[in-house]
Amino acid sequence: MISKTMESALNKQIELEAYASFLYLSMASWCDKEGLNGCAAFMHRQSDEERQHMLKIYHYISEVNGHGLTPAIAQPPHEFESINKMFEQVYLHEQKVTKSIHSLVELSNKEDDYTTLNFLQWYITEQREEEALMRSILDKIKLIGTGPMSLYYIDNEIQKINKAEMTAEEVEKEA
């Protein structure tokens, strides 16, 4: 059984993960429109991942006898200034999610809720990995620069990263 305070904090996290899923879906659609197919595939996969993060919390809340609430999701932006700016926005959003996970950890400690503390460990690792991934993408974009073929090279690189992420997910599933 979790406290009402913890239940409501976890429901807030559901909202954040749901928004991330919608934001990344909107980014995938924008990338498609711009002809950046590698980036679109990457963002679609990220969007699906965020939905999984959200569902994981629903299941957890049920398991500990609480009630997971389906949130109203704010409309995400549809247009992005550039691919660089778009990934900067992803990185910022991931940092926001990390902060929120850390606040949940703080609350679990305060409430001596070791079950939730244990549940949150997976998210701590996930956020570290996501932030590192987004930083590496931003570094790559910077390295490629803004030359005439830059969008083509960026898209190819993101395509490669996406394939590597898909392989890693498969390996994780089989483990």
List interacting residues with ligand OFO (CB under 6 A): 17, 20, 50, 53, 94, 97, 126-127, 130
Residue 50 vs 113, nearer CB to ligand OFO: 50
Comparison of 49 and 155: residue with beta carbon closer to ligand OFO: 49
Q: Which is nearer to ligand OFO, 33 or 99 (CB)?
A: 99
Which two structure tokens, joined as six digits, stand for 30?
């924008």
Q: With respect to ligand OFO, which residue has the nearer C-beta, 55 or 151? A: 55
Q: Count CA within 13 A, CB hemisphere, residue 22.
A: 14
Per-position DSSP letters for 77-111, written without gaps between them: PS--S-HHHHHHHHHHHHHHHHHHHHHHHHHHHHT
CB 66 → ligand OFO: shortest distance, Å?
Answer: 20
Nearest distance in Å: CB 112, ligand OFO: 26
CA atoms in the 13 A half-sphere facing the CB of 103: 13
**Host H or E run for residue 67:** none
| Shortest-Cβ-distance residue relative to ligand OFO | 53
Q: Which is nearer to ligand OFO, 130 or 155 (CB)?
A: 130
Using CB atoms within 10 Å of the CB of residue 32, give its burial: 0 to 12 exposed, 13 to 18 middle, 19+ buried. middle
Distance CA 14, CA 18 (A): 6
Shortest distance (Å) from residue 1 CB to ligand OFO: 25
Q: Which amino acid is at 108?
A: S
